[in-house]
């Protein structure tokens, strides 16, 4: 029979929450990537087929690429993780 202490329970809960957070972050990143690819395909098809509004689709794709490039090169400070349970 194992004895359960509050600190052990909290440590286990923290471990479960960290694993679920990683999974949710990966799921969200996948959804964002799928949406971005979908938008790129829709606007790209409109541009290639020269449908009405193709110029705005081209502008949209170029501005999205510029935004992603700026975001990827930007330096953002990281926040320290909070240690709620022990050391």
Q: What is the pLDDT of residue 86?
A: 55
CA distance 57 to 65: 12
Radius of gyration of the chain (CA): 22
Is the alpha carbon torsion for 21, 27, 30, 36 positive or negative? negative
Top pLDDT among 50 and 81 is at 50
Determine if the pTM surpasses 0.95. no
Q: What is the pLDDT of residue 68?
A: 77
Please state the separation of Cα 31 from the chain's center in Å: 8
Q: Is the pLDDT of residue 29 over 60?
A: yes
Query: Which residues touch 61 (CB under 8 Å, ≥6 apart)?
Result: 40, 43, 44, 47
Task: Tell me the domain boundaries of the chain.
Answer: 11-72
């Amino acid at each position: 029979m194992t004895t359960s202490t509050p600190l052990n329970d909290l440590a286990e809960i923290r471990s479960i929450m960290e694993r679920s957070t990683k999974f949710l972050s990966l799921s969200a990143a996948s959804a964002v990537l799928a949406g971005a690819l979908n938008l790129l395909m829709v606007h790209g098809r409109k541009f290639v087929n020269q449908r009405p509004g193709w110029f705005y689709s081209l502008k949209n794709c170029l501005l999205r690429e510029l935004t992603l490039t700026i975001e990827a090169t930007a330096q953002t400070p990281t926040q320290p993780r909070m240690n709620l349970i022990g050391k």
